[in-house]
């Protein structure tokens, strides 16, 4: 059954349905646009494991999901899916995250051929030993390139501190060592286990007729079914974080990452991420007095806040270039501990930040690729990215205060610093 959800204040109508084979379909027609983006998301990422034939969980090599993403573009008879998209006038790409893999394209208007191609090329894995070894060399070069990037070293270093001995400490592409462990069997088994219709979600945004698109999707999926046992996503096995660590690298100024590990949550990811962003922005964002004071020499415009929330992990990373990383880390932790005393923690400041986020949201409605990505990131049975304005309007300063109290009692922190050679 096709469910229609009207967002009158946004002038948007959102459709969603689950096909008989389990594929979830989400449609957001926008007739005022000339382009259309289609995004196919697989519930399979860098953290996921596989089931052995006896039902036990096997730890897969790091980088397996990313490797599979690369190889699926190789179609039968040596054809390249990305070139076929180009021939159809569509720009295509893909990415792998900790928990998802996504394939997408953008075309001028509705292209039934491009939509069919997106749905078809991920169904079959075409790979042999020669192709496997060739791809290993390509990804090995990609990994080496990351290792020369100090910002990458900072990010991976703080994650390794926060989540030791988990796959969060490893690059999504894997490592030189893990690449050697990826075999044809691992790739075929992971494709069989995860690339199944009941583990896929399809998002269409832009200029298309939803009835025509849905008919195309249903016909394409008519004989695509599976009876395999679904693979459960296991929680991370957490150990004590590393409190602080530093390395030396080829940089001109020290780099600091201050990380906070929070308990995983089964609550609304969209709301939790929104509340976390507001809380840290009100205390440390560029509109805060603290930021303005630190900007007088302690930090510069490299300052960034990254937030990740899921049912298996939740962390926040503050990263920055600073000549005094130890002093700044201590100042920030003290500021967070005494957040109620901050002159920035008030309703007027919250209203300012709320308007800023609402403005960002409204602008995202005019970027169909960004909108498709956001819809895919936050869609659940109960909630959509389009619900953000309602969540935003319901948030009060008391909600941020409650979050702050909970953070002080549950989060653990870590520091990772890069000093010049």
Cα distances from 56 to residues 231, 260, 358, in angstroms, run 11, 32, 46
Closest CA to 315 of 96, 98, 162: 162
Q: Is the pLDDT of residue 53 over 60?
A: no
Q: Note the pLDDT tens digit of each residue in 164-180.
A: 999 999 999 999 999 99
| pLDDT at residue 230, as a whole number | 63
| pLDDT at residue 265, as a whole number | 83
For the chain, give every domain's residue range. 2-221, 244-420
CATH of 2-221, one of 1.10.260.40, 3.30.830.10, 3.90.1150.10, 3.40.50.720: 3.30.830.10
CATH class of 244-420: alpha beta
Q: Give, rounded to a whole angstrom, the gap between the first and last alpha carbons of the chain.
A: 62
* Per-residue confidence band for 296, with pLDDT thresholds at 50, 70 and 90: confident
User: 2-221 and 244-420 share one CATH topology?
Assistant: yes
Lowest mean pLDDT among 41-45, 103-107, 251-255, 402-406: 402-406
DSSP letters spanning 36-87: EEEEEEES--TT--EE-TTS-EE-PPTTHHHHHHHHTTB-GGG-BHHHHHHH
- φ, ψ for residue 14, nearest 5 deg: -115, 135
Q: Note the pLDDT tens digit of each residue in 363-392.
A: 999 999 999 999 999 999 999 999 999 999
């Amino acid at each position: 059954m096709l469910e229609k959800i009207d967002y009158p204040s946004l002038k948007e109508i959102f459709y969603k349905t689950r096909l008989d084979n389990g594929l979830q379909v989400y449609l957001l027609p926008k007739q005022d646009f000339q382009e259309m983006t289609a995004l196919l998301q697989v519930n399979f990422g860098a953290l996921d494991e596989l089931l052995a034939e006896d039902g036990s969980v096997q730890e897969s090599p790091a980088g397996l999901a990313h490797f599979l993403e690369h190889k699926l573009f190789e179609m039968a008879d040596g054809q390249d899916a990305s070139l076929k998209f180009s021939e159809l006038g569509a720009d295509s790409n893909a990415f792998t995250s900790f928990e998802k893999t996504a394939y997408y394209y953008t075309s001028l208007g509705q292209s039934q051929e491009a939509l069919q191609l997106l749905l078809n090329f991920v169904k079959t894995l075409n790979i042999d030993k020669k192709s496997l070894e060739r791809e290993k060399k390509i990804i090995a070069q990609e990994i080496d390139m990351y290792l020369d990037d100090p910002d990458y070293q900072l990010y991976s270093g703080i994650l390794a501190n926060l989540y030791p001995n988990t796959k969060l400490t490893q690059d999504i592409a894997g490592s030189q060592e893990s690449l050697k462990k990826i075999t044809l069997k691992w790739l075929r088994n992971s494709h069989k286990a995860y690339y199944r219709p009941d583990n896929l979600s399809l998002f269409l945004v832009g200029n298309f007729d939803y009835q025509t698109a849905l008919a195309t999707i249903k016909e394409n999926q008519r004989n695509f079914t599976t009876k395999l046992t679904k693979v459960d996503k296991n929680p991370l096995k957490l150990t004590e974080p590393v409190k602080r660590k530093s390395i030396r690298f080829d940089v001109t100024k020290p780099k600091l990452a201050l990380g906070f590990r929070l308990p995983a949550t089964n609550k609304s990811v969209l709301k939790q991420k929104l509340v976390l962003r507001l809380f840290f922005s009100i205390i440390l964002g560029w509109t805060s007095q603290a930021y303005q004071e630190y900007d007088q020499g302690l930090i510069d415009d490299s300052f960034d806040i990254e937030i990740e929330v899921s049912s298996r992990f939740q962390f926040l990373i503050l990263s920055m270039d600073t000549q005094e990383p130890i002093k700044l880390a201590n100042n920030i932790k003290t500021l967070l501990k005494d957040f109620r005393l901050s002159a920035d923690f008030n309703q007027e400041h919250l209203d300012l930040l709320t308007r800023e986020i609402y403005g960002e949201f409204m602008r995202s409605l005019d970027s169909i690729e960004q909108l498709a990505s956001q819809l895919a990131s936050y869609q659940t049975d109960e909630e959509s990215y389009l619900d953000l304005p309602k969540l935003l309007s319901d948030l009060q300063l008391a909600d941020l205060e409650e979050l702050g109290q909970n953070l002080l009692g549950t989060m653990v922190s870590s520091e990772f610093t890069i000093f010049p050679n």
